[in-house]
């Protein structure tokens, strides 16, 4: 009876650990390789396929199922526990394609071992009623999987992080193997398992102890600069680097700004629509939690209020309390006219009752299904509903040359919502030739650009702004499908655009 209870506990823990590994690797693959739909879909598919193979192979271990199970737990503990450290290593050493194939092979091995677990424990149950044993074991395995999906997004990812989570659950698998080895019949086998288990735990424990140092070394190689801030939130991995006077912000390893040239981006994003709507007083900024757009907006004295909506409260926290970021945003985050709202931009526009003179969408590129919705027809319609009759909406729209299809898709989608649409662009050394698209119910008339003389800018002049309205001769607005919630085609355009240039951009 004790053995059966131990097996029940083993099934629950095994189910928990296996799903955790799947989630860890899928999330890490998304961070490193992008395209979350592809990474999660293929990871799940390969994982289930290899589990099926493992379940088939398990029938050859019916003679000593507990011995085989204990051995598998030790292997899973080491392979699964080292999964994230190994992925960090791969990202530094391998090309993108090599890392992708290695990741798929890695999840195949984990799935293969996982597929062996439940059948082996079923064979080991001392119960003549096989159907009842099987149903009980499967139910515990599924419950373990449910618990894993709950603790991963709400506890492990935000508070423990990927690196330490993999090591911790690797140790859990090994401890499970040690626990189950008590029921192995051979005393010599039990002693061997105990020795191997202790050595494995010490290995993972050592990696956990040195984890902070290892992460610092690896991430500085990834970012090529000393890391000043590293935060994992429920929504993203935040890193700020500092190399001399260059401060850079990365979200999920994608650069958001460099302090050396961010003024070009934010001056174009803010002052261009403001000079087309000099009476604007109520402003909404979607994204921009670092308060750099707010810094530029506060140069217009007539502004009454600036509402900033950002999903991640940690970005607001850094904007208010991080010395370097506070210096860059010139304490805009502490200004009484600035109101910071922690909310999803789409949800905010859906429920907001206020109307604004100007809405600025300073949101991430459409490189995932989560961000693709922020460039849909429905999103632009929501923004229009939140504008006053003469209001203006502007969105950042990515690189216009290398990602021309995605940029064109934004322009074409905006034209289905707004009566008047105007694309503009400016060159940003850290990013390239960057695009923005404005939309309004009224004519987008260029006002007297000499008003720029009254605003302290580092980049914009009246001539530079005038030139920003004309796209380069080699950049066309091509025909594209309209981006919608039902068909987020912009994600495909974005990924295909950058796939064309990847070979030239990635160092050999």
What are the tens digits of pLDDT across the range 188-236?
Answer: 888 999 999 999 999 999 999 998 888 888 888 888 889 999 998 888 8
Contact 83, 43 (CB under 8 A): no
pLDDT of residue 1: 55
Contact 179, 6 (CB under 8 A): yes
Residue 140 has pLDDT above 90, yes or no: no
Helix (H, G, I), strand (E, B) or coil at 283: strand
Summarised one tens digit per residue, pLDDT across range 477-497 is 999 999 999 999 999 999 888
| SS3 letters across 88-136 | HHHHHHCCHHHHHHHHHHHHHHHHHHHHHHHHHHHHHCCCCCHHHHHHH
| 244 lies in the same domain as 370 | no
Residue 34 has pLDDT above 50, yes or no: yes
The active-site residue, picked from 141, 307, 357, 362, is 362
| 352 lies in the same domain as 417 | yes
Residue 507 has pLDDT above 60, yes or no: no
Domain limits at 242? Answer: 223-256
Summarised one tens digit per residue, pLDDT across range 252-268 is 888 899 999 999 999 99
Helix (DSSP H) and strand (DSSP E) numbers for the chain: 19, 11
| 209 lies in the same domain as 230 | no
Summarised one tens digit per residue, pLDDT across range 324-377 is 999 999 999 999 999 999 999 999 999 998 999 999 999 999 988 889 999 999
pLDDT of residue 505: 45
| 272 lies in the same domain as 308 | yes
Contact 325, 290 (CB under 8 A): yes
| 170 lies in the same domain as 245 | no
Domain tally, the chain: 3
In CATH, what number is assigned to the domain containing residue 469?
A: 3.40.50.150
pLDDT of residue 508: 34
Bridge-based pairing of strands 338-342 and 420-428 is unpaired
Summarised one tens digit per residue, pLDDT across range 74-106 is 999 999 999 999 998 888 888 888 899 999 999
- Measured CA to CA, the distance from residue 320 to residue 299 in angstroms comes to 19
For the entire predicted model, the pTM comes to 0.80
pLDDT confidence band for 131 (50 / 70 / 90)? low
Contact 376, 413 (CB under 8 A): yes
pLDDT confidence band for 5 (50 / 70 / 90)? confident
- Measured CA to CA, the distance from residue 468 to residue 474 in angstroms comes to 15
| 249 lies in the same domain as 273 | no
- Measured CA to CA, the distance from residue 187 to residue 499 in angstroms comes to 57
Cβ burial of 68 (10 Å; 0-12, 13-18, 19+) is buried
| 287 lies in the same domain as 187 | no
Summarised one tens digit per residue, pLDDT across range 267-300 is 999 999 999 998 899 999 999 999 999 999 999 9
| 250 lies in the same domain as 198 | no
Q: In sequence order, what are the residues at sequence separation of 6 or more whose Cβ sits closer than 8 angstroms to the Cβ of residue 277?
A: 357, 358, 390, 391, 392
Closest CA to 429 of 240, 291, 293, 258: 258
Q: Taking every pair of C-alpha atoms in the chain, what is the biggest distance, in angstroms?
A: 90
Contact 251, 230 (CB under 8 A): no
| 292 lies in the same domain as 197 | no
- DSSP letter at 152 equals I
| pLDDT (average), residues 148-161 | 90
Residue 322 has pLDDT above 60, yes or no: yes
pLDDT of residue 506: 45
Summarised one tens digit per residue, pLDDT across range 458-469 is 999 888 998 999
Residue 450 has pLDDT above 90, yes or no: no
> Which of 217, 245, 280 is the C-terminal boundary of a domain?
217
pLDDT confidence band for 133 (50 / 70 / 90)? low
Q: What is the mean pLDDT of the chain?
A: 90
- Clarify whether 307 is annotated catalytic: no
pLDDT of residue 395: 98
| 339 lies in the same domain as 295 | yes
> Which of 197, 231, 256 is the C-terminal boundary of a domain?
256
pLDDT of residue 388: 96
For residue 498, count other CB atoms closer than 10 A to its CB. Answer: 18
Bridge-based pairing of strands 246-251 and 432-440 is unpaired
Residue 435: beta bridge partners?
Answer: 425
Closest CA to 57 of 1, 130, 103, 112: 112
In this structure, the dihedral spanned by the alpha carbons of residues 74, 78, 79 and 84, taken in order and rounded to 10 degrees, is 150
DSSP letter string over 156-223?
IIIII-HHHHHHHHHHHHHHHHHHHGGG-S-HHHHHHHHHHHHHHHHHHHHHHHTHHHHHHHHHHHHH
| pLDDT (average), residues 53-62 | 89
CA distances from 139 to 1, 5, 60, 133 (A): 19, 14, 24, 10
pLDDT > 70 fraction of the chain, expressed in percent and rounded: 95
Residue 284: beta bridge partners?
Answer: 307, 359
Burial 423-456 (b: 16+ CB within 10 A, else e): bbbbebebbebbbbbbbbeeebeeeebeebeebe
pLDDT of residue 59: 87
- Measured CA to CA, the distance from residue 488 to residue 262 in angstroms comes to 29
| 227 lies in the same domain as 206 | no
| Sheet of strand 356-362: strand arrangement | 338-342, 305-310, 282-287, 356-362, 387-399, 432-440, 420-428
| 239 lies in the same domain as 307 | no
Summarised one tens digit per residue, pLDDT across range 98-129 is 899 999 999 999 999 999 998 888 887 765 55
Residue 227: beta bridge partners?
Answer: 241
Of the chain, the end-to-end C-alpha distance in Å amounts to: 60
């Amino acid at each position: 009876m004790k053995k059966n209870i131990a097996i029940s506990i083993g099934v629950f823990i095994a189910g928990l650990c296996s799903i955790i590994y799947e989630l860890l690797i899928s999330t890490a693959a998304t961070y490193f390789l992008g395209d979350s739909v592809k990474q999660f879909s293929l990871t799940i598919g390969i994982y289930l396929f290899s589990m099926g193979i493992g379940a088939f192979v398990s029938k050859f271990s019916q003679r000593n199922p507990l011995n085989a199970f204990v051995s598998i737990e030790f292997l899973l503990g080491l392979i699964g526990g080292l999964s994230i450290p190994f992925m960090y290593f791969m990202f530094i050493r391998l090309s993108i394609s090599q890392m992708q194939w290695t990741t798929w092979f890695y999840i195949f091995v984990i799935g293969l071992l996982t597929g062996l677990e439940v059948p082996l424990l079923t064979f080991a149950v001392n119960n003549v009623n096989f159907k009842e044993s099987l149903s009980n074991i499967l139910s515990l395995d599924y419950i373990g999987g449910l618990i894993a999906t709950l603790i991963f997004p709400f506890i492990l990812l935000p508070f423990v992080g990927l690196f330490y989570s993999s090591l911790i659950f690797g140790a859990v698998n090994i401890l499970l193997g040690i626990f189950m080895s008590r029921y192995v019949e051979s005393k010599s086998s039990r002693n061997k398992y105990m020795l191997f288990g202790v050595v494995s735990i010490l290995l993972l424990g050592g990696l956990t102890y040195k984890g902070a140092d290892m992460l610092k070394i690896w991430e500085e190689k990834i970012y090529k600069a000393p890391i000043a801030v590293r935060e994992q939130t429920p929504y993203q991995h935040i890193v700020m680097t500092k190399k001399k006077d260059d401060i850079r912000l990365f979200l999920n390893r994608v650069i958001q700004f460099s302090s050396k040239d961010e003024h070009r981006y934010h001056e174009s994003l803010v002052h261009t629509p403001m000079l087309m709507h000099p009476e604007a007083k109520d402003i909404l900024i979607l994204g921009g939690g670092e308060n750099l757009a707010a810094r530029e907006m506060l140069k217009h004295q007539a502004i009454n209020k600036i509402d900033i909506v950002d999903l991640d409260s940690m970005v607001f926290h850094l904007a208010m309390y991080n010395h370097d970021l506070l210096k860059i945003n010139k304490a805009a985050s502490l200004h009484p006219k600035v109101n910071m709202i922690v909310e999803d931009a789409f949800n905010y526009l859906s429920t907001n009752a206020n109307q604004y003179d100007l809405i600025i969408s300073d949101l991430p590129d459409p490189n995932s299904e989560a961000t693709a919705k922020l460039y849909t027809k429905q999103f632009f319609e929501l923004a229009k509903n939140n504008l006053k009759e003469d209001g203006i909406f502007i969105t950042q729209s990515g690189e216009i040359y290398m990602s021309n299809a995605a940029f064109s898709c934004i322009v074409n989608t905006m034209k289905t919502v707004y009566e008047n649409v105007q694309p503009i662009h400016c060159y940003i050394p850290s990013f390239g030739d960057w695009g923005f698209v404005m939309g309004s119910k009224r004519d987008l008339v260029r006002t007297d650009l000499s008003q720029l003389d009254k605003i302290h800018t580092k980049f914009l002049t009246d001539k530079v702004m005038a030139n920003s309205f004309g796209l380069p001769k080699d950049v066309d607005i091509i025909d594209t499908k309209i981006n919608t919630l039902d068909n987020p085609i912009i994600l495909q355009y974005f990924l295909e655009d950058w796939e064309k240039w990847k070979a030239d951009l990635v160092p050999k």
